[in-house]
Amino acid sequence: MSWLLSSPFLSDEVFLPENRSMSNVQEHTPIDTNRWSLAGTTALVTGGSKGIGYAIVKELARLGSAVHTCARSQADLEKCLQEWRGSKLKVTGSVCDVSSPSEREKLMATVKSQFDGKLNILVNNAGTAIFKPAMEQTPEDFKLSISTNLESAFHLSQLAYPLLKACGGGSIVFITSISGFIAWDHLSVYASTKGAMNQLTRNLACEWAKDNIRTNSVAPGFIKTPLVDFLLEDEEFVARENHRVPLGRLGEPEDVAGVVAFLCLPPSCYVNGQVIVVDGGRIVNGNH
């Protein structure tokens, strides 16, 4: 309210509703901490040691959720776990390559044991991107992209289903990409997996709604993560991308994490089957 009262567009006289004093106007309404909290919930976030996944783990844990995450590298995972413990966040982790069906099953068995057979939140974040022209993509590249991005997201959702149902419902969030909407050079296979994940979101949202399990996707634009460090070194590329984004900048992992957290909070309880784009306006900008 202070910004409104000091606005240059207002006259010197401020007209208040009847029976409202200036002191009442300036009072802050208390935040409903139950509505905007994840205290008492449990979450699994895949690929949580770097980039967007790291930011999501931190965001959910700060809101009170007990989070389990996974990564392929024991060293990377342990470094993150030490940091989170130092911040008094309730985060645990285990090593897992989500492209492997057996490792996915082992991961969910760990989660089931740790959280007493119940899970409130599943964030399918882990993924890979192989930057190659379509004619250079090998069958092995294709298989790895499918198994890591699409197959793992579907399989982990299947494995998590009984744990989510045991809680009386929950939230599944897929991390996809705007490449599921628009074409990008050298990302034909990656984009195909993300487009499929967007459609998987809609189908699961309808099929599992009867169990109060909501399914949504967050589709980031160009986000500054280790996955694209080599592109960030190209000043011309960065300048070109900044120009394409109406907000004039590339995204940060925290920009995505905040939206993911919202989809896990009580205020989002009627949001289901949606793909929410977080790209600063890039794909709606016609001035490319």
User: What per-residue string of b and e applies to 214-228 under the rule 16 or more CB within 10 Å gives b?
Assistant: bbbbbbbbbbbbeeb
Output the CA angle 115-116-119, nearest 5 degrees.
Answer: 50
Q: For the chain, which residues make up each domain, given as ranges?
A: 40-284
Encode pLDDT of 211-237 as tens digits: 999 999 999 999 999 888 888 899 998
What gap in Å lies between CA 125 and CA 52, rounded to an integer?
8
User: Per-residue pLDDT tens for 134-162?
Assistant: 999 999 999 999 999 999 999 999 999 99
From 236, 227, 232, 245, select the one nearest 286 (Cα to Cα).
245
270 is catalytic: no
Given this model, what pLDDT does residue 24 score? Answer: 52
Give the pTM.
0.88
Radius of gyration of the chain (CA): 21
Question: Binning pLDDT at 50, 70 and 90, where does residue 29 land?
Answer: low
According to CATH, the superfamily of the domain at 40-284 is NAD(P)-binding Rossmann-like Domain (3.40.50.720)
Out of 54, 161, 190, 270, pick the active-site residue.
190
Q: What is the pLDDT of residues 190-207, one digit of tens each?
A: 999 999 999 999 999 999
